[in-house]
Chain A
């Protein structure tokens, strides 16, 4: 049996290995348990979720009603002060094409598709959101540092797929001005 504690060596061990077994120390045990529990979440935390089917959207009528009408897209301030970004993915542009958010606070992304399956990925991070028509995909991401992150589409969506690319501009928190409840902001309206 492998000796977890590092005390003693194989040469000293008896011919019957089980006799020489020492129980692993608390630190080793804790690390093992923590990794086992935490490891799956390392992946799950960075990925957005397609929300359930109870709130089906008509992908053809996004511009007529609901939360994805064109003057509700972009970054918005919620009642509790947090920031929500609403976007539409469509062949072959994300709208808005340039998203402005503050650094250091969790930002909720809500995205839907108007036509095919898309996937929003944030370059330089492991953040990604799968987007399908008819449902809202949601994710909560946090960007500690200010900067510009390209957001290419990562799901083949047609002949213009490779040009489908939005930009995420993360500004320091004090440069992101306080929005009134019905104000929506993108890079253009900064």
Chain B
């Protein structure tokens, strides 16, 4: 009996040693090889990732159901997707993926807004997709009956020249890409909002938010990188340019004569 138990103990010790060599040692080496950096400290800008499943969930909404749901958005975003306050974004003809992602970010508090968080937390993923499908179908044609704030007054010609340059060409030496390469009409990147009919004051507040760290929900930080390189005057010029509806015209037509 005594002999058997000592064999068991010796066997157990051998197993422990083996475990230490084959399990603990590689694990310890793996952890230290990563520079001591552990996955627990990850800062996630947005829970949304554009995987195939997410793309399908976000883009296959029912626009009619969205139309019914959108009645609670009317008060601020306007009954036709154009708000009466230039600080509030227009949603007519907005990119589907953008609406879906922003609602998800409001829900998970990745994008900070007390009001939108309360509203978005009552919406399911399907509701967001339906709203996205509805707003992306709304036309951008003018309506004199509607009390929309868009378009705002035309900016001064000098500012138009500054903005038109950034929108169409960007600034290569400073690493600022042209806005239209991602936000349309020249190029498109998943989740990038269309800016052609966006309000100036809203664009300004968002660029300042990206630059100042108040808005941090852009995946892989493109907008935070770009907005920190824009000057205060350039942000104002861009806001005026898009707010005046110049983003809708072909690029050459916006150059001052």
Contacts and interface: CB of A to CB of B under 8 A. Distances in A.
Interface of A: 58, 60-65, 67, 69-72, 76-79, 84, 88, 90-97, 114-115, 158-160, 162-167, 181-182, 188
Nearest to A184: B37
9 contacts: A61-B49, A71-B41, A72-B37, A79-B35, A90-B222, A92-B177, A160-B170, A160-B181, A182-B41
A18 B247 CA distance: 79
Contacts of B45: 63, 70
Given A79-B36, A162-B172, A182-B37, A60 B181 contact: no
B178 interface: yes
Contacts, number: 110
Contacts of A60: 49-51
B151 to A, nearest CB: 25
Given A70-B45, A70-B221, A91 B175 contact: no
Interface residues of B, number: 41
B231 interface: no
B182 A92 contact: yes
A92 B183 CA distance: 12
Interface in B30-48: 32-39, 41-47
A161 B221 CA distance: 17
Contacts of A188: 228
B4 to A, nearest CB: 45
Contact of B225 (A67, A97, A115): A97
Interface string B43-64: 1111101110000000000000
B36 A182 contact: yes
A interface: dominant SS:
loop
B39 A91 contact: no
Nearest to B179: A160
Interface of B: 32-39, 41-47, 49-51, 169-173, 175-178, 180-182, 186-187, 189, 219-222, 225-226, 228-229
Given A163-B176, A164-B175, A91 B37 contact: no
B225 A65 contact: no
A155 to B, nearest CB: 15
A95 B39 contact: no
Contact of B175 (A72, A90, A97, A115): A97
Contacts of B228: 188
Nearest to A62: B220
B35 A77 contact: yes
Nearest to A180: B36
